[in-house]
Structure 1
Amino acid sequence: MIESSGLKAGMVILLDGELHSVASAGHHAGGGQQAGAVFVKLRHLKTGHIKELRLHLSDRLEDVVLEHKVMEYLYTDGVAFYFMNPDTFDQISLPTKAIGAYEKFLQPNMRIPVQLYEGEPVNIAFPAQVELAVVSTPPGLREHESSTFKSATLDNGMEVLVPQFIKEGDTVRIDTATGKYVERVRREGRRP
């Protein structure tokens, strides 16, 4: 059990017998006759629905520890995403709603941690950033200017804004939460 004041984004709790992931938790100190409160946004792990709650600081919730198992992404059929355990070759599926916006970052044979609860897959622990190759982008206006951006198409089909010095063939790091460019990935033995 955990007090509501200890909730943090990313935690998984059991609420009304269902698993929910904490999307955000904001603490309000209160004052005068108002007691402090915690404002929480929870995402239902099976349906993806968002629920907003106002909890007292002393409310206790059942936190859940999920098992993490690295699995290899295989394919999607439009209804579910299929993953394989590389050690046992067992396959599991997760509904499309569980993957959500991360779908555009999944690539075949990508290894990713899948979260399991009592042996059943419930969610993926997607990395905060991914590395993708630039397939096409126009030449930069000025070689070293980084205050203006241009459009680039990545190998997963996404279009992002990148600095002027990015060229075709470069690998860039993208924030998975926002879909925005973070930095160029420098490879060992290669000069900029």
Structure 2
Amino acid sequence: MARAAELKPGKICEINGKQYFVKSVEVKSPSARGAATLYKFVFNEILTKQKYEETFKGDDIVGDVDYMTRSLQCLFSDGEQFTFMDVEDYSQYVLNNDELGEQVSWLQDGMEGIIGMFVNDALLGIQLPNTVIRKVLDTAPRMKGATATKSAKPAKIEGGISVNVPDYIENEEMIKVNTQTYEFISRA
């Protein structure tokens, strides 16, 4: 059994006897004293692929599901779906953009370090690596005298993702970004 606060996108759980894949999580922290933090989940049912939304308190319990994980590589995309390859036995699996959700913007041809979740040898979803290296495509010019301080500016990176970067980062630089929090980590 797992607590709702422990569920993250890409995990699989059981609710009311049905198995669900976690698509997204939204955390709401009420300002009232003693109020519990709420977690709003968007799930896809494993069998029917139907969307299901539910809100839990952090201490609510959800059921565990037995699933296997395998290391995958993103081979390519045809615009509508992505093809992944198992790095051990070279079998290929396909997920469409709807099944991947917002993870699509992080995926690139040849990307490694992806974990696939399988139930009954069917690929249900993926977990991205915690960090990836991406090129800065567009950001404001370097500020004269900028140092590694807390000041930040927005930057558009490969995949169309916007992240805040330090003032000293310029266009065409490679940076390391956290895929869960969309935060700049360091230069690559």
TM-score (norm 1): 0.69
Q: Give the one of 113, 116, 140 matched to 1:114.
A: 116
CA change 1:117–1:162 in 2 (3 A) is: same
The residue that corresponds to 2:173 in the other structure is 170
Contact 1:150 1:163 in 2 (8 A): yes
CA change 1:42–1:168 in 2 (3 A) is: closer
The residue that corresponds to 1:32 in the other structure is none
SS at structure 1 position matched to 2:145 = coil
- Percentage of matched positions with identical amino acids: 19
What is the CA-CA distance between 1:149 and the residue it aligns to?
A: 3.1
Structure 1 segments (4+ residues) deviating >4 Å: none
What is the CA-CA distance between 1:107 and the residue it aligns to?
A: 0.5
Contact 2:175 2:186 in 1 (8 A): yes
In structure 2, what is the Cα distance between the partners aligned to 1:124 and 1:45?
A: 15
In structure 2, what is the Cα distance between the partners aligned to 1:171 and 1:83?
A: 25
- Extract unaligned runs of 5+ from structure 1: 27-35, 187-192
Contact 1:171 1:184 in 2 (8 A): no
CA RMSD of aligned residues (A): 3.6
Q: Mark the structure with the bigger radius of gyration.
A: 1
TM-score (norm 2): 0.70
Once the two structures are superposed, the pairs formed by residues 5-154 of structure 1 within 5 Å of their partners are 6-7=3-4, 8-10=6-8, 11-15=11-15, 16-21=17-22, 23=25, 41-44=41-44, 47=49, 49-53=51-55, 61-111=62-112, 112-145=114-147, 146-154=149-157
CA change 1:166–1:107 in 2 (3 A) is: same
Contact 1:105 1:176 in 2 (8 A): yes
CA change 1:97–1:75 in 2 (3 A) is: same
